[in-house]
């Protein structure tokens, strides 16, 4: 116990990640900086655009200490490189002259990436959704070829039971709401298990894991036109629908149309098992519980307290209780279409 505590206490802090340290880390890999640095919007890690003396800028991502092992990070890098080798538009980590993509500098672990331009995709456009579906089908076709050994699976335990257990012990929930929240969350997890039971045995594969529109950059013109998938930091094993449901929005009829458009492209490259439609609201529910624990586990990071001042307030937890009750009702509804 004490040894583990001492190890945690010796991990470097993001607060000590100064501009000089960032520049020194980049130059330690053989790139020469011109002194310009721009902090980019990121909470889980720290990400900077660093200008170079000769050539376009690079993106330096400093990994949150203690989150992933080196082996898990390298496993993610290997997956994106595997995708890029198949000419799938993903942004991969740059390798040094020694062939290394993960670097260490003054206790920090970091990787360098090329800067990728682009805008958010227009997910209300049928052609865009079909285009996205084609590339997600290709990503999953490669992802199904082998399994992660170092990265956990997205399931009701890792994204539901474990974070809920942490929240129950954390003291983050206001005492007057704790019993209600935990009771409703457990009811939601029971409903999640029922969704999984209805879906049956669904295969899992290597995923992007966090495929929302913020992690897709769209180019309108040129040979690289179309979607470019970035930030595989949350890549895990899981059902294919995990990378599809976050592209859906609106009322039921609208989501039906969107899913149809996605699958028109997706099934050109990878088969979709429609039983996974039972998991859409279940996975959304797991994400909600996991997100609250994610915020709580990082609450000692000043950046989180500044960016999420509403967390740990009574109103926040009242809203989460209502949200989970709505999810319980949604999980009891039929899937987007019958089969």
Helix axes 70-85, 126-143, angle to 10 degrees: 120
**Long-range own/partner contacts, residues 226-229 (CB < 8 A, 24 or more apart):** 226/89, 226/131, 226/135, 227/89, 227/121, 227/131, 227/132, 227/135, 228/89, 228/90, 228/91, 228/116, 228/118, 229/88, 229/89, 229/90, 229/91, 229/135, 229/139
Tracing tokens 């992933």 back to the chain, one arrives at 68
Nearest to 119 by CA among 211, 40, 216: 216
Beta bridge partners of 3: none
The set of catalytic residues is 210, 231
Radius of gyration of the chain (CA): 21
């Amino acid at each position: 116990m004490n040894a583990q505590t001492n190890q945690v206490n010796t991990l470097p802090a993001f607060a000590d990640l100064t501009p000089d340290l960032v520049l020194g880390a980049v130059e330690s890999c053989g790139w020469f900086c011109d002194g310009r640095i721009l902090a980019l919007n990121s909470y889980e890690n720290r990400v900077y655009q660093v200008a170079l003396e000769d050539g376009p800028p690079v993106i330096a991502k400093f990994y949150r200490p203690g989150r992933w092992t080196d082996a898990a990070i390298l496993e993610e890098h290997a997956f994106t490189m595997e995708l890029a080798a198949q000419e799938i538009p993903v942004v991969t980590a740059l390798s040094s002259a020694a062939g290394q993509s993960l670097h260490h500098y003054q206790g920090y672990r970091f990787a360098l990436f090329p800067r990728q331009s682009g805008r958010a995709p227009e997910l209300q456009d049928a052609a865009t959704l079909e285009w996205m579906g084609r590339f997600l089908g290709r990503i999953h076709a490669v992802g199904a070829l082998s399994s992660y050994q170092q990265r956990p699976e997205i399931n009701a335990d890792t994204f539901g039971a474990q974070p809920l257990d942490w929240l129950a012990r954390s003291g983050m929930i206001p005492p007057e709401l704790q019993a209600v929240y935990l009771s409703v969350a457990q009811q939601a997890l029971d409903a999640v298990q029922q969704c999984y039971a209805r879906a049956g045995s669904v295969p899992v594969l290597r995923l992007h894991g966090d495929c929302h529109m913020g992690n897709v950059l769209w180019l309108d013109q040129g040979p690289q036109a179309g979607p470019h998938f970035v930030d595989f930091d949350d890549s895990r094993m899981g059902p294919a629908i995990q990378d599809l449901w976050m592209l859906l929005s609106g009322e039921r009829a609208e989501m039906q149309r969107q899913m149809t458009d996605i699958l028109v492209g997706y099934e050109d490259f990878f088969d979709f098992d429609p039983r996974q439609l039972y998991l859409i609201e279940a996975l959304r529910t797991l994400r909600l519980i996991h997100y609250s624990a994610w915020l709580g586990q990082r609450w000692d990071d000043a950046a989180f307290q500044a960016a999420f001042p509403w967390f740990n307030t009574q109103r926040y937890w009242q809203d989460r209780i209502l949200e989970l009750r709505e999810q319980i009702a949604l999980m009891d509804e039929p899937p987007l279409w019958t089969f």
